[in-house]
Amino acid sequence: MSDQLIAACERVLALVGTDAEAEVTVSSGTETLTRFATSFIHQNVADAARRIHLRVALDGRVAEASGNQTDDDALSRLVRSTMDAAALQPVDPGWPGLAPAAPAPAVEHWDDATATAEPAERAVRVGDFVAAADGLETAGFCSTDGTAVAFANSAGQRLTGRSTTALLDGIARTGTADGSGRAASARIADLDGSVVGAEATRRARDATGAGDLEPGRYEVVLGPSCVVNILSFLAIYGFNGRAVDEGRSFARLGKAQFDAGVTLADDVSHPMAVGVGFDAEGTPKRRVELVRAGVTSGLVHDRRTAKALGAESTGNAISGAGPWGALPVNLVLEAGSSSSDDLVAGVERGLMVTDFWYTRILDPRTQVVTGLTRNGVWLIENGRVRRPVTNLRFTQSFVDALAPGALLGVGSDLTLVGGAAFGTSAYVVPSLHLAAWNFTGGARG
């Protein structure tokens, strides 16, 4: 497959010729998703996906285009229209040029069984999840993706990679409460519908009979999906070179902006990660440390923001990201040594939260975000879980939540969570115990 894709890249570069700088990405694979609700499979899809993306710079005049047809006529049209468009553009003073030839790290987050998984294999896992719910209503999905990608540019860079992802994510519902369970891996064999379904069922039953709680500031134990949500905002609006360049970011290099227990890096080579070893501009990925023991120590860049800030690209360009800038897609938050029970035991009076929902930023500089809890919240008193609580709305600065002194415990439960940064990434994180979280209202008003 890689040979075919790189050959397609070469065909496009040959059509562009030597008059322009050009970079080409060709990807191909299968994306599948089996969805269930009210305990039956109601949507089940597979896409034989293919994409050719071309960016050219004609004397600093830049245009890009994409298509999904690979016959000679289609590729010729793609090249011609992109070149024509570039010729009509003004010179782009921020054009950073092409990535130089350099090898990418040898990551191989690939599993043949996942790439070729049949719908029946996903249905078995869904069936196991439904059965584990023991009569409770269930909903969720099981997906398997396998994508190969090739990159080539007229500066001599040639790269190929491939990645698989398998996800199982669902809820069990008692009628008055929902509980969630999820698993993510590069290998479908790691997804056990019975285990994930049982976890969701336990949470749903434990969350049943919830009572209201007065809003206010509480200690919290946040599950991995909540932590991923927090990091997504820090990534998009904070550690992003573009946000820093535009003065919208909170990040201040060299400053102790976080608790000393926070060490955060973007690292596609992590054994639990998914993805390929280079970015949309053909820059090799590397481990980028963003926070070291609470001190902001790095930013992610694409070539444009790197040029603007006098830095080097970190291999975090995202295709189609446009004005958003670079994004870390493989964040890893360093785990601690506390078990889930230890985290709870350390709480004097607070809340244990499974998931966040519909989080939106009020101001990127302060990182004040509003959102709600979902799929299980429990009151903890004197180190013990006392009772389930109805969902709450919060309005909280995510930077303040992790500020020096605010991190009271870090879990050992390092977990890969897909769908980070609003669907584009997968982060590896533990649970966290935080000193304060500002709940501003009950979800029922």
Partner 1 sequence: MEAALAAGARYADARVMDRRHEAMNARNGEVEGLTQDGSVGLGVRALIGSGWGFFSTPDLTREAAQAAGAQAAAIARASASVPGKDLELTPVEVRKDSWQNAVQEDPLGVPLSEKGDLLVGVTRTMSEHGADVALAGYDIWDTTKWLVSSEGHRIDQRIRECGAQMNATANGENETQRRSYPGIRGQYGTRGWELVRELDLPGNAARIAEEARELLTAPECPSREATDLIIGSEQMALQIHESVGHAVELDRILGWEAAFAGTSWLDLAQIGDLRFGSELMNITADATLPGALGSFGYDDEGTPAHPVDIVKGGVWVGVLSGRDSAALAGLSESGGAVRGDGYNRLPMVRMTNVGLLPGGSSLEDMIAATDDGILMDTNRSWSIDDKRLNFQFGCEIGREIKDGKCGRMIKNPTYTGIGPRFWGSLDMIGNESEWTFWGTPNCGKGQPGQIGHTGHPSVPCRFRGVRVGVRG
- Binding positions for partner 1, 416-435, rule CB under 8 A: 423
Is residue 48 at the binding interface for partner 1, with CB under 8 A as the rule?
Answer: yes
Cβ nearer to partner 1, comparing 7 with 102 = 7
Point out which residues pair with 220 in neighbouring strands.
351, 434
Token pair belonging to 320 = 């189609």
Compute the distance between CA of residue 217 and CA of residue 223 in angstroms, rounded to an integer.
Answer: 18
Restricted to residues 128-147, the positions that interact with partner 1 (CB under 8 A) are 130, 137, 139-141, 143
Is residue 308 at the binding interface for partner 1, with CB under 8 A as the rule?
Answer: no
Is residue 225 at the binding interface for partner 1, with CB under 8 A as the rule?
Answer: no
- Residue 110 three-state SS: coil
Longest distance between any two alpha carbons in the chain, whole Å: 71
Phi, psi of 344 (to 5 degrees): -65, -40
Yes or no: say if 300 and 327 are a contact pair by the CB < 8 Å rule: yes
With CB under 8 A as the contact rule, the residue among 72, 260, 366, 386 that binds partner 1 is 366
Is residue 211 at the binding interface for partner 1, with CB under 8 A as the rule?
Answer: no
- Residue 164 three-state SS: strand
With CB under 8 A as the contact rule, the residue among 1, 37, 256, 345 that binds partner 1 is 37
What minimum distance in Å lies between the beta carbon of 438 and partner 1? Answer: 6
What minimum distance in Å lies between the beta carbon of 65 and partner 1? Answer: 4
C-alpha distances out from residue 412 to 337, 343, 348, 368, 430, Å:
5, 10, 20, 28, 6
With CB under 8 A as the contact rule, the residue among 158, 187, 202, 248 that binds partner 1 is 248
C-alpha distances out from residue 441 to 175, 209, 360, 402, 435, Å:
23, 19, 16, 22, 19
Compute the distance between CA of residue 348 and CA of residue 426 in angstroms, rounded to an integer.
Answer: 32
Token pair belonging to 286 = 């590397």
Is residue 4 at the binding interface for partner 1, with CB under 8 A as the rule?
Answer: no
Binding mask 265-304 for partner 1 (x = CB under 8 A): ----------------------------------------
Pick the stretch among 1-9, 85-93, 285-293, 336-344 that binds partner 1 (CB under 8 A). 85-93
| Helix, strand, coil content of the chain in percent (nearest 5) | 25, 40, 35
Please list the alpha-helical segments (H only) found in 89-154: 112-115, 119-132
Compute the distance between CA of residue 383 and CA of residue 344 in angstroms, rounded to an integer.
Answer: 5
Restricted to residues 315-334, the positions that interact with partner 1 (CB under 8 A) are 320, 322-323
Is residue 363 at the binding interface for partner 1, with CB under 8 A as the rule?
Answer: yes
Pick the stretch among 67-75, 224-232, 267-275, 282-290 that binds partner 1 (CB under 8 A). 67-75
Binding mask 390-419 for partner 1 (x = CB under 8 A): -x-x-xxx--x-------------------
Yes or no: say if 183 and 128 are a contact pair by the CB < 8 Å rule: no
What minimum distance in Å lies between the beta carbon of 59 and partner 1? Answer: 14
Handedness of CA 45, 182, 138, 135 (dihedral sign): positive
Is residue 229 at the binding interface for partner 1, with CB under 8 A as the rule?
Answer: no
Q: Are strands 216-222 and 349-363 parallel, antiparallel or unpaired?
A: parallel
Is residue 441 at the binding interface for partner 1, with CB under 8 A as the rule?
Answer: yes
Is residue 371 at the binding interface for partner 1, with CB under 8 A as the rule?
Answer: yes
With CB under 8 A as the contact rule, the residue among 60, 105, 119, 383 that binds partner 1 is 119
- Which run of H or of E encompasses 142? strand 137-153
What minimum distance in Å lies between the beta carbon of 1 and partner 1? Answer: 16
With CB under 8 A as the contact rule, the residue among 1, 2, 10, 50 that binds partner 1 is 50
Pick the stretch among 8-16, 102-110, 241-249, 377-385 that binds partner 1 (CB under 8 A). 241-249
What is the rounded (10 degree) CA torsion for 356, 265, 283, 243? Answer: 60
Is residue 85 at the binding interface for partner 1, with CB under 8 A as the rule?
Answer: yes
Is residue 175 at the binding interface for partner 1, with CB under 8 A as the rule?
Answer: no
Size of the site for partner 1 (CB under 8 A): 93
Compute the distance between CA of residue 439 and CA of residue 429 in angstroms, rounded to an integer.
Answer: 23
With CB under 8 A as the contact rule, the residue among 1, 46, 256, 414 that binds partner 1 is 46
What minimum distance in Å lies between the beta carbon of 124 and partner 1? Answer: 8
With CB under 8 A as the contact rule, the residue among 246, 334, 342, 413 that binds partner 1 is 246
What minimum distance in Å lies between the beta carbon of 428 and partner 1? Answer: 22
What minimum distance in Å lies between the beta carbon of 77 and partner 1? Answer: 9
With CB under 8 A as the contact rule, the residue among 36, 218, 258, 378 that binds partner 1 is 36
The per-residue b/e assignment along 203-220, b for 16 or more CB within 10 angstroms, e otherwise, is bbbbbbebeebeeeebbb
